[in-house]
């Protein structure tokens, strides 16, 4: 009898762990997350608000994207301070940009003016988009 109760408890624990482990990643869709982040970004809002609604970008740079998605500076723990100081000291005469990459189909740059207000979003064409354009 004790063995049966023990086995039932063990099976219950295994099932619970599998359910919790499966449900934590089951609904994760990076493309959908990226599309939602992109949709949340509004024009004419401060860079800090963009961070609030879209999260921290992978990279940033001290110039606009211009459809050039080559970024070198990682958005690390001191990036907020560096950007705030740069805006205060007018170090970004052409503005600056954040690169968001959630997946191949959800990669975009948010460009800001010299005062840190969002001015536009530039989407990077995915390989899927390019193949569809070619009829594939």
pLDDT means per 10 residues, the chain with 136 residues, are 59 63 66 95 98 96 89 94 98 97 94 98 75 56
Burial of 3 (0-12, 13-18, 19+ CB in 10 A): exposed
Strands (E), the chain: 59-61, 73-74, 96-103, 106-112, 118-123
pTM for the whole structure: 0.74
What does the pLDDT read at residue 25?
53
What does the pLDDT read at residue 68?
86
> Which of 97, 3, 104 is closest to 50 using CA atoms?
97
Do the Cβ atoms of 102 and 30 come closer than 8 Å? yes
What does the pLDDT read at residue 67?
83
What does the pLDDT read at residue 118?
98
3-state DSSP assignment of residue 87 = helix
What does the pLDDT read at residue 114?
97
């Amino acid at each position: 009898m004790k063995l049966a109760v023990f086995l039932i408890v063990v099976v219950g624990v295994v099932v619970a762990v599998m359910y919790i482990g499966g449900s934590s990643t089951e609904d994760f869709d990076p493309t959908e997350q990226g599309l939602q982040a992109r949709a949340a970004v509004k024009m004419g809002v401060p860079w800090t608000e963009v961070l609030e609604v879209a999260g921290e970008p992978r990279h940033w740079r001290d110039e606009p994207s211009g459809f050039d998605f080559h970024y070198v500076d990682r958005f690390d723990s001191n990036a907020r301070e560096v950007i705030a100081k740069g805006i205060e000291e007018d170090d970004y005469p052409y503005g600056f940009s954040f690169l968001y990459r959630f997946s191949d189909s959800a990669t975009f740059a948010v460009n800001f003016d010299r005062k840190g207000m969002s001015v536009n979003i530039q989407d990077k064409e995915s390989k899927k988009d390019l193949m569809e354009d070619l009829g594939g």
